[in-house]
Amino acid sequence: MDPPAAKRSRGCPVEPEERDAGAGAKRGRGRPEALLDLSAKRVAESWAFEQVEERFSRVPEPVQKRIVFWSFPRSEREICMYSSLGYQPPEGEHDARVPFTRGLHLLQSGAVDRVLQVGFHLSGNIREPGGPGEPERLYHVSISFDRCKITSVSCGCDNRDLFYCAHVVALSLYRIRHARQVELRLPISETLSQMNRDQLQKFVQYLISAHHTEVLPTAQRLADEILLLGSEINLVHGAPDPTAGAGIEDANCWHLDEEQIQEQVKQLLSNGGYYGASQQLRSMFCKVREMLRMRDSNGARMLILMTEQFLQDPRLALWRQQGAGMTDKCRQLWDELGALWVCVVLSPHCKPEERASWLQLLGKWDKLDVCPLEEGNYAFNGPSLQPTTALSPGPEEEEEVVVAAGSRHTVFGRALQAGSLQWSDTHLQRILASDCYGPSLTGHMGSDKPTFDPQGRPLWLGEPFPTACARVDTLRAHGYPRQALRLAGAIVNTLRLQRRHQLESYKQQKKELLQKGSTCITNTEGWVGHPLDPIGCLCRALLEACRLEEETLALYPDSGPEKRKVAYQHVQVPGSSGESYLALALEVALLGLGQQRALPEGLYAQDKVVRNEEQLLALLEEVELDERLVQVLRKQSGLLLDGGPFSGFGEVLFRESVPMHTCARYLFTALLPHDPNLAYRLALRAMRLPVLETALTAGEPHPSPLDSVMSNRFPRWFILGHLETRQCELASAMLTAAKGDPKWLHTVLGSIQQNIHSPALLFKLAQDACKTATPANAPPDTTLLGIALELGLQVMRMTLSTMTWRRREMVRWLVSCATEIGLQALMNIMQNWYSLFTPVEAATIVAVTGTTHATLLRLQLEAPQREELWACARTLALQCAMKDPQNCALPALTLCEKNHAAFEAAYQIVLDAAASGLGHAHLFTIARYMEHRGLPLRAYKLATLALAQLSIAFNQDSHPAVNDVLWACSLSHSLGRHELSAIVPLIIRSIHCAPMLSDILRRWTLSAPGLGPLGARRAAKPLGADRAPLCQLLDAAVAAYINTSHSRLTHISPRHYGDFIEFLGKARETFLLAPDGHLQFSQFLENLKQTYKGKKKLMLLVRERFG
């Protein structure tokens, strides 16, 4: 296979062919390169220098120099790849502190000097300016290389990042861009071989003298070993030379700091709850893919290191022990890890021993108890791509699926399965090799399965669709974009042929299926949300071929705030009649999104279906639709509508199939400007949510008005609330688009009423429709307003028996919506209130809000119409008062104030309710209202009715009705002696609390009755407590004090003695109001002393206080 085409990167590396100061000999434009350089380049790329020395007994020095010269990496692309991961730049500093960018800046500022290449070793100094007030810093950098790869690096900055520091980058770029300025020497062993004994001795002594503090102990040890004849050093031929390059058996790979990778992954996993940690780990995954694309063996090596750290994450054991699922972020990282291993194992160019070692590792990891399992019930040996597909699996196939789903599958299971896949199939090789592969180029392939469709285009059959798409992803990942496109085209041809046969099969059984009204699922596992993401792999491969902009070498893929919008162009499919890869991508995406499929098991798997749908639609939304793509949309939409049980838009649906709301919303928006009828047909068909349609019987109340309807009945549908929200968004989009078109508005309304069962979502739709129908600077859309009102009425009916905390908001909104429509709509909801509102809502919100000054101004009514509305509101209030007098009587009175007849009717309702048990608290409230209205006699009447129902015991001096009783007494006193006389028996019968009775008695004796603001002057002086009618109250108060004292003394404790003495003091004050009060109190005290003489301490206190 051809290597990937190298593309120039913006603002990053410069390819060797484009540099002015090239790495070879200077030559004029068009002048051929020297044969020595051409051959030295090839040898330097492929052979270890030891192999050159063994192959040829003598290698001339000029040849050696050219091989050594060309052994250093020639492309800056790899340097950039290995110096652009360890730092995630914050917003506003994009690439500013990336090691590659910093190294490039150091090079351009002349910070590199004293560069020397000795054999396969490069060294130099980097002078980096210090910060403000800091001195310049000098770093010594050493680089070893072999066969155009950097094999080790060393820098004085003590870099602790994953890859190369800026100083290594600066020295490497200097060597690539200014190769002719670098002093070049052969390996040091070649120089030493040219010296005689004296020169060697001088060389060693000078070397030791220059670095005696560092090397003297080592030099002495080596000298001792050399002088010892039988030492190990004397048994080895020759001596090591760090500048002589690698040996034949040495691995040839770029330098990778394994310890740093492990440490950083471990640290990032420990911070797994933070968004930045997940982003860093994803950057590392992207770097692995970049290495795979460059055919760099470190890609697999780095993935192994990361996987080992992932498996050592202590949270895995904790989650397993607690039986809890891992976090979504962590699960997504594991999914990406598993998908990367599929790409690695399925590599089309790896050696068998490499694949065997990977599979051995994967097998070991797969058996670990902490290894996460794959979410969802996706089969590992699903149905293969076939030219024909039955409408439903037979009993035997169903049993196989159940068995497969029940076995244990970890995230590495698919990579292990990929280990058995090969690339040696002749038909597959021919698909990958040519754009023009057809029946004319081959004979019979020796297989029963067809290899071409009727149009002569190649097919790829015989393995599951996700597996075939994994091959496409693998080819892209390993740098074979053309081959990936060819295989993707063959898979699309197969999908088309399969769909054609599906439609034919459905047409034959359409009548039978429509009579049944339901179907069994034809796809037990969906392609959207699948662990291998087959639709996404196929779409990205096809879209990549159509990108207008150059591919850039992203230091951090998907990072940075300034993401440019991707532009696509039509690129014709070779050998086709005008088809483009862009159209194929759109077709494949719609085929996957519109597939009728069962919802997978598990919260994460279901959430992944939703997330995968959104990712695919985000890809499609980047594509600007032209006429060709609109035609594709129209054709695919028609096929989806006619797809029967194979399509989520078909006429018959499996009960638990994934809804099509998100896909339908995209199609509706895209098709609406071009084909409105088709757009509405699709969207209306997609409004179904069959799992709810079959669960709720007709007329059944909604179990949870504001939350997901079936969360308690179908716990398997964890994302049902999200799906219902998407359904609502689709309906809202249709309502907004249909504004001004009554026909479609009523059609959409019917679909909403039939398919949406959540009152909260219906209410949101009603609000959105009302807002859309009433723009600020344009006349309202009456049809859309009517639909908003109709939806609001439906919500009121649905939630009438199951009250919610949002009901008051809903009722207020409904009144405002009816007001926007007009007087008749407002009067209709008032007249039919009993089926929409509770009496309290109708009386306190509907009637009041409907008659406020703001409402009347909004309606702009004439006087007769205004009176008609008031009459309707009063009638509503009276009806509510009759149905719920306890809560609605006062609002009804308030509303009927301006109409005498209505007010009298409301007052009579209160009197009737008092006779049938209206509570004293409500009666007191209405009585106070009457007093406030200037109707004291009615207030007095209601107060006496309330007192008749009241009972305050001897120890209830903090009873909630105390203030109401005192108010009633004050009212009766202000009205006159007659009213006062009438209320005294009620007070005596209802109140047994001595302090309260004495308080009332004292208040009444302060002024003459009838002198209050509400009464006429009927008495000249205050009433005496010893005369009627107050003498009865005085006797009751004295009796209450006597009874209360005996009750308290029965169970009194010493700590309450002080309180009791104070109580007796108040009692004496009341006793003294009577003419013989002093005598009565003395007799009362003597009685207490005799009766409770056992309580000596208490009686002593009584004697001290009262004698």
**What DSSP string describes 1073-1106?**
TSTTHHHHHHHHHHHHHHHTTT-HHHHHHHHHHH
The lowest-confidence range among 189-193, 263-267, 497-501, 806-810 is: 189-193
- The two structure tokens encoding residue 408: 């244990």
* Confidence bin at 20 (pLDDT 50/70/90): very low
Residue 248 confidence (pLDDT): 67
Residue 16 confidence (pLDDT): 42
Find tokens 């009796």 and name the residue. Answer: 1039
The lowest-confidence range among 196-210, 239-253, 497-511, 606-620 is: 239-253
Residue 684 has pLDDT above 80, yes or no: yes
The pair phi, psi for residue 880, each rounded to 5°, is -65, -40
Taking only Cα atoms into account, the Rg of the chain, rounded to an integer number of angstroms, comes to 46
Residue 225 confidence (pLDDT): 78
User: What sign results for the dihedral spanned by CA atoms 947, 950, 952, 958?
Assistant: negative
* Confidence bin at 519 (pLDDT 50/70/90): low
Q: Mean pLDDT of all residues in the chain? A: 82
Distance from the first to the final alpha carbon of the chain: 122
The lowest-confidence range among 508-522, 629-643, 721-735 is: 508-522
If you average pLDDT over residues 102-122, what whole number do you get?
Answer: 85
If you average pLDDT over residues 893-919, what whole number do you get?
Answer: 92
If you average pLDDT over residues 156-166, what whole number do you get?
Answer: 77
If you average pLDDT over residues 1046-1060, what whole number do you get?
Answer: 85
Percentage of the chain lying above the pLDDT 90 cut: 38
Mean pLDDT highest for which of 14-18, 247-251, 653-657, 897-901?
897-901
Residue 1087 has pLDDT above 80, yes or no: yes
* Confidence bin at 564 (pLDDT 50/70/90): low
- The two structure tokens encoding residue 298: 């470190």
Residue 561 confidence (pLDDT): 41
If you average pLDDT over residues 589-608, what whole number do you get?
Answer: 91
Whether the CB-CB separation of 800 and 836 falls below 8 Å is answered with: yes
pTM as predicted: 0.80
Residue 274 confidence (pLDDT): 64
* Confidence bin at 518 (pLDDT 50/70/90): low
* Confidence bin at 1086 (pLDDT 50/70/90): confident
Length of the chain in terms of residues written? 1107
pLDDT in tens, 430-470: 999 988 887 875 544 545 677 888 888 899 988 899 999 99
Whether the CB-CB separation of 155 and 141 falls below 8 Å is answered with: yes
- Alpha carbon distance 311, 363 (integer Å): 13
- Alpha carbon distance 738, 787 (integer Å): 11
> What amino acid is encoded at 177 in this protein?
R
Whether the CB-CB separation of 1021 and 1051 falls below 8 Å is answered with: no
pLDDT in tens, 278-329: 888 888 888 899 888 888 888 898 899 999 999 998 888 888 888 777 888 8
If you average pLDDT over residues 514-531, what whole number do you get?
Answer: 76
If you average pLDDT over residues 1059-1064, what whole number do you get?
Answer: 86
Question: What b/e string do you get for 513-551 counting C-beta neighbours within 10 Å, with b at 16 or more?
Answer: beeeeebebbbbbbbbbbbbbbbbbbbbbbbbbbeeeee
**DSSP per-residue codes, 680-711:** HHHHHHHT--HHHHTTSPTTPPPS-SSS-TTT
Contacts 24+ apart (CB under 8 A), 25-32: 26/180
* Confidence bin at 341 (pLDDT 50/70/90): very high
pLDDT in tens, 728-748: 999 999 999 999 999 999 999
pLDDT in tens, 51-104: 776 677 677 778 877 887 888 888 888 888 777 764 444 444 445 567 888 888
* Confidence bin at 107 (pLDDT 50/70/90): confident
- Alpha carbon distance 518, 513 (integer Å): 7
- Alpha carbon distance 752, 728 (integer Å): 8
Residue 563 has pLDDT above 70, yes or no: no
Residue 555 has pLDDT above 70, yes or no: no
- Alpha carbon distance 76, 523 (integer Å): 48
Residue 469 confidence (pLDDT): 94
If you average pLDDT over residues 990-1013, what whole number do you get?
Answer: 80
**DSSP per-residue codes, 46-83:** H--HHHHHHH-S---HHHHHHHHHHTS---HHHHHHTT
Judged by DSSP in three states, 125 sits in strand
Preceding peptide of 659 cis, ω within 30° = no
Residue 1's alpha-carbon distances to 4, 85, 479, 483, 486, in angstroms, are 9, 29, 10, 8, 13
* Confidence bin at 705 (pLDDT 50/70/90): very low
Residue 275 confidence (pLDDT): 64
Which has the higher per-residue pLDDT, 5 or 1096?
1096
If you average pLDDT over residues 642-667, what whole number do you get?
Answer: 90
* Confidence bin at 1033 (pLDDT 50/70/90): confident
